[in-house]
Structure formats: C-alpha cells, structure tokens
Amino acid sequence: MTDADNQAPKILDIPIGLDATGLRREFDSLGDVGVPADRYWGAQTQRSLEHFSIGHDRMPKEVYRAYGYVKKAAAAVNTKAGRLPAWKGELIQRVCDEVISGALDGEFPLYVFQTGSGTHSNMNVNEVISNRCIQLVGGTLGSQEPVHPNDHVNMGQSSNDTFPAAMHIAAHTMATEKTIPALRRLRDAIEAKSRKWADVVKIGRTHLEDAVPLTVGQEWSGYAGALQDAIAEAEHATHGLLRLAMGGTAVGTGLNAPPGFGEEVAAEIASMTGTPYETAPNKFTAQGTLDRMVRAHAGLKTVAVTLFKIANDLRWLGSGPRTGLHELILPSNEPGSSIMPGKVNPTQAEAMLMVAIQVIASDVAVTMGGSEGNFELNAFRPILIANYLHSALIMADMCDHFREFMVEGAELNEAKLKENIDRSVMMVTALSPVIGYDQASVISHYAIDHNLTLKEAALANGVSEELYDRVVNPIALTRPGSADIPSGAKKSLHVGREA
C-alpha cells in the first residue's frame, strides 16, 4: 500500500446516476469492451449480457442486495486489518449501503442462465461498486482507479465463496421475512375458523364416500395442524442457511484470504443484519455442494404439498351452488365466466393449486442442480437461487391472498350440513357396538335400498326410538365417550332383515 493509497481524496456528494450517452471504454483481462455510458457496470458484465441473453429470467434483485452485505462486511474486515485504507474501505461500505437499499437495482441486469459459479454476478457487483466509488471521488469511470473491482472490492474473496454466501443470505431473508410470516398468518386464520366452528357437526368423508360425523372445527383443526407441521419443517430447513461459505475462496482452502477472514466477515454480516450467520466449519462442503439450499427448498415443497391439500379440500367443499357439495360458501371475488352469467369460481383455491404445482416442479430443478456438485464446486448455483426465491415469493404472496380473499370470508352452509346429517347412513357405526356389526350393516343397506333416513331404517328393523336417539347423537359422536351405552343393551336388542 503506497502513501497515495492512504491519502484520502475528497468524497463528493453526487446522487446515483450518470448523465452520459453513447459508449464508455471498459476493460478486463481479455481486452476492451464498449459499455453504455449511463451505466455503472463494466467489461465483464457487458460480456455476460452479450453472451448470455437467454430468455427473460434475470438474476433476482434479492441476490444483489445480499451481495451488498457480503461486500460491505469484507470491506469492513479488510479496513480494520489495515489491508484497505480507511477512506477506501469506508467508501466501499457507503456504496454497499446503496446496493443493500435497492437504489442500484437497475445496475444488475444479468440473466439467470450464466456461468454456474455466479462469477458474472459477482463481477457485476464488483464493477458497479468500483465505478460508483470512482464517481464519488471525481475519477474517470472505467479506469478502475482508485477503487479496483478485483483488488479492492473483491479483496480476500472469490465468486466461489461469495456467491453461495449471498445465496444463503437472500434465501434466508426471503423465507424469514416474507414466506414463513405469511404461512403463519394463514395458519392463524384457519385456526380462528376452527375455533368458530368447533361445535358445528358435519358428515365426514373417507375415500370420497360418506363417513361418520365430526365437527367443522375438527376438520379445520386438521388443516391448521398440518400447516403448523409444514411450517416447522420449513423453519428447520431454513435454519441451515445460516452457515456461509465465506473464507473458502477458490476451492475451500482460503487461498488469498487471511486467517480468520471467513469468521470475521460472517460476524460482520450477522451484526449488520441482526441474523446469526456464521462461517461454515467445512468450506469444502459449503462450496462443493449446495445441499443446504436443496434442503431449504425441499422445506418449501413440503409446505406446498400441505397447501395443495387444504386448497383442494376447500374448493370441493365449496363446489355448487346447486349440484355440488356446497358445504362452504366461498367469497365472490369476481365473475367466473365470460359466457355463463352469475357463475362464480373458487379462483383463489385454483391459484393456490397452481402455485403449489410450480413449487413442487421447481424442486425438481433444485434437486438436479444440487446433485451436480462436481469436485470442489457446484456450478449450478444460479438456477438454484432463482428457483428458491421464486418459490418462496409466490408462496408468500399466495398465502396472503388465499387467507384474505378466501379463508377469512368463507362461511358455512348450515342448511346443507344439516341435510347431510339427516340423510347420513354411516352414523349407523355408533349402533355397531350395541347391536353388532352385521345387524348394523343390515340397517345401513336397508336405508340405502329403500331411500330412507337412517332413523327410519333403524326403527323399521327393530331399534327403539329411545335407544336410537340416545346412541345416534351427532354431536356426541364427534366426541367419543360422551354417549356411553348401558351394559346389556346389545343383548336385549334384536334386528331383522325386514320390518
């Protein structure tokens, strides 16, 4: 470090933006490249734009904002150790704050389908920070002086350890600040309905066929419990993202990074974010695999399976209004048909099913990309983080919409529930311990064959009205033990095939 490096230039108060037209000369190890003069990025970013303009999928902005923390923490550690002059390290950190805030989002245009290591995105960040720093000291953009993208912004780092670190930060932030809170809000709304409908009896269904009664509250408690279990799995898997690859540099050995660099950078990131990030104890694992990302997305897939079941049940329970189950009255959010007047569809449930399908499908891409951890580097990182963030985002948004526009406004069709209770045959199960399975079966078939209610069939086959009313009590049947039968009742009853 020379005296000139230590001499602090005047830092200018210049807002973000470049008032320039045409092209600016930038360079890298392969030579000169023309870059749009109104952009902060440099040669390597421009090369990636030209060589990898594939589809419409751009690297998510959350990755770059996470990268802001990585670069800021590295600059802070290098400054404290005297490897960067104080003014230079502080200037880099100042620009990193702009990256973190999203103020420079427009400077990160690269596509998802790029180098599998994420080097292009790492250099995109390095170049933008470098040129913004140069602008703030009145220098010449593209000169790489006095703040160099590799020597200063990338000091002690490699794409191979910084990109997976940024992946973990971006994914953990999305999951804990958006996805999991949205899931909890949906769970709470379902639990509220479960409490509200705790004593409303309905007929259960197994194999899509009539079964014995339960309460609507019990049914919805099953939804809430399943969602809570899924949330717990997602939380556990997300916790694994707290370990960062920082400090491993190229292949995990830490070449060109000083001793303790990974630990110090992770501690800085933890301090900046308020999240307990730490350095991965084995950098070869952290860089050669993306297993923790795979498990984190698998947690989202688990939630998607649960959400699919809940949404599918609700749309069937709301089917109708005249020829479906129609136990639920779902909110009418918008007209459902361009040709059938008055038709309203369970659109929120359909959207939830599509989101769940997308998340489950994305898990295949994540799994395959995660399996390609060849030797010391998994080179399929961009597709993993793009799919994870997409899954986490659409799941969060969908949960809030499903809660607000479907669950919270759902009501019961109590007349339909009562009709189903009155016509149910499977409540004969309650008679089985009293009169025997075979005799109970006779009553069941008799009711179906003669289109009778269960009570009518039971009375026609020798069951007394007093016994029937005492044993076949719908609300009592939802709480076994509340309608005990006196001993000996079974022996005193005779049921015949015909009345």
Per-residue HEC secondary structure of the chain comes to CCHHHHCCCCCCCCCCCCCCCCEEEEEECCEEEEEECCCCCCHHHHHHHHHCCCCCCECCHHHHHHHHHHHHHHHHHHHHCCCCCHHHHHHHHHHHHHHHHCCCHHHCCCECCCCCCCHHHHHHHHHHHHHHHHHHCCCCCCCCCCCCHHHHHCCCCCHHHHHHHHHHHHHHHHHHHHHHHHHHHHHHHHHHHHHHCCCCEEEEEECCEEEEEEEHHHHHHHHHHHHHHHHHHHHHHHHHHHEECCCCCCCCCCCCCCCCHHHHHHHHHHHHHCCCCEECCCHHHHHHCCHHHHHHHHHHHHHHHHHHHHHHHHHHHCCCCCCCCCCEECCCCCCCCCCCCCCCCCHHHHHHHHHHHHHHHHHHHHHHHHHCEECCEECCHHHHHHHHHHHHHHHHHHHHHHHHHHHCCCEECHHHHHHHHHHCCHHHHHHHHHHCHHHHHHHHHHHHHCCCCHHHHHHHCCCCHHHHHHHCCHHHHCCCCCCCCCCCCCCCCCCCCCC
207 is catalytic: yes
391 is catalytic: no
Q: Which CATH class is domain 164-415?
A: mainly alpha
Does pTM surpass 0.85?
Answer: yes
In contact, 493 and 462? CB cutoff 8 Å? yes
Beta partners for residue 206, in sequence order: 209
Q: What is the pLDDT of residue 260?
A: 98
Q: What is the pLDDT of residue 480?
A: 87
Rounded to a whole number of angstroms, the CA Rg of the chain reads 32
The dihedrals phi and psi of 245, each to the nearest 5 degrees, come to -80, 0
Q: Determine which one of 271, 337, 441, 464 is catalytic.
A: 337
**Domain limits, the chain:** 3-155, 164-415, 425-499
Q: What is the pLDDT of residue 472?
A: 94
Looking at residue 439, its amino acid is Q
Q: Considering the domain 3-155 in this protein, what is its CATH number?
A: 1.10.275.10
To which residue do tokens 């007093």 refer?
Answer: 466
Out of 1.10.40.30, 3.40.630.10, 3.40.190.290, 3.40.50.10190, select the CATH number for domain 425-499.
1.10.40.30
Q: What is the pLDDT of residue 491?
A: 36
Q: Determine which one of 29, 56, 207, 338 is catalytic.
A: 207
| Predicted confidence pLDDT, tens digits, the chain (499 residues) | 565 577 899 999 999 999 999 999 999 999 999 999 999 999 999 999 999 999 999 999 999 999 999 999 999 999 999 999 999 999 999 999 999 999 999 999 999 999 999 999 999 999 999 999 999 999 999 999 999 999 999 999 999 999 999 999 999 999 999 999 999 999 999 999 999 999 999 999 999 999 999 999 999 999 999 999 999 999 999 999 999 999 999 999 999 999 999 999 999 999 999 999 999 999 999 999 999 999 999 999 999 999 999 999 999 999 999 999 999 999 999 999 999 999 999 999 999 999 999 999 999 999 999 999 999 999 999 999 999 999 999 999 999 999 999 999 999 999 999 999 999 999 999 999 999 999 999 999 999 999 999 999 999 999 999 999 999 999 999 998 654 444 433 433 333 333 3
Tokens representing 73 are 């923490």
Q: What is the pLDDT of residue 7?
A: 86
Residues 6+ apart with CB under 8 A from 252: 282, 283, 284, 286, 287, 288, 376
